């Protein structure tokens, strides 16, 4: 099983000692496959962020999952299921990419994604959520 990181989780995981840092270290130690969507990667790159953090994240995550036609259609469906709320479409794209590759989504903002579970999204259950 792959775990996709959303932007909020990745940003917080780069803070030493944070809960997200602890979860990520645990997953890496257990050789859990970690990934990210191209949308979450683009959000992350908007920063602020230094070049060392960018390089470390790129090595850790590998190539981002691209948004193809099927993922775009799934994201649109999720947007409609989620109530067509303003500023949620990016979250729908992140969620759809995770669903497309059968990954769970790790997020620091689970309430932003819970309405999408009915569309097949599986959230990583974190102790603090």
pLDDT of residue 129: 45
* pLDDT value of residue 86: 78
| pLDDT at 127 (0 to 100) | 74
State the pTM of this model. Answer: 0.91
pLDDT at 128: 55
Mean pLDDT by 10 residues, the chain (129 residues): 95 94 96 97 92 91 95 96 85 97 96 93 82
Q: At what angle do helices 69-81 and 89-100 cross, to 10 degrees?
A: 130
Cis peptide before 48 (omega within 30 of 0): yes
Tokens, residue 48: 């602020």
Q: Which fold has domain 2-119?
A: Rossmann fold (3.40.50)
């Amino acid at each position: 099983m792959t775990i996709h990181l959303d932007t909020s989780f990745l940003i917080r995981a780069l803070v030493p000692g944070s809960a997200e840092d602890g979860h990520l270290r645990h997953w890496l130690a257990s050789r859990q496959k970690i990934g990210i969507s191209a949308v979450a990667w683009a959000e992350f790159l908007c920063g602020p962020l230094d070049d060392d953090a960018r390089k470390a994240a790129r090595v850790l995550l590998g190539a981002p999952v691209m948004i193809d036609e099927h993922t775009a259609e799934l994201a649109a469906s999720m947007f409609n299921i989620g109530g067509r709320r303003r500023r949620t479409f990016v979250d729908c794209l992140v969620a759809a990419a995770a669903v497309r590759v059968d990954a769970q989504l790790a997020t620091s903002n689970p309430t932003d994604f819970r309405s999408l579970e009915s569309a097949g999204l599986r959230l990583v259950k974190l102790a603090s959520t």
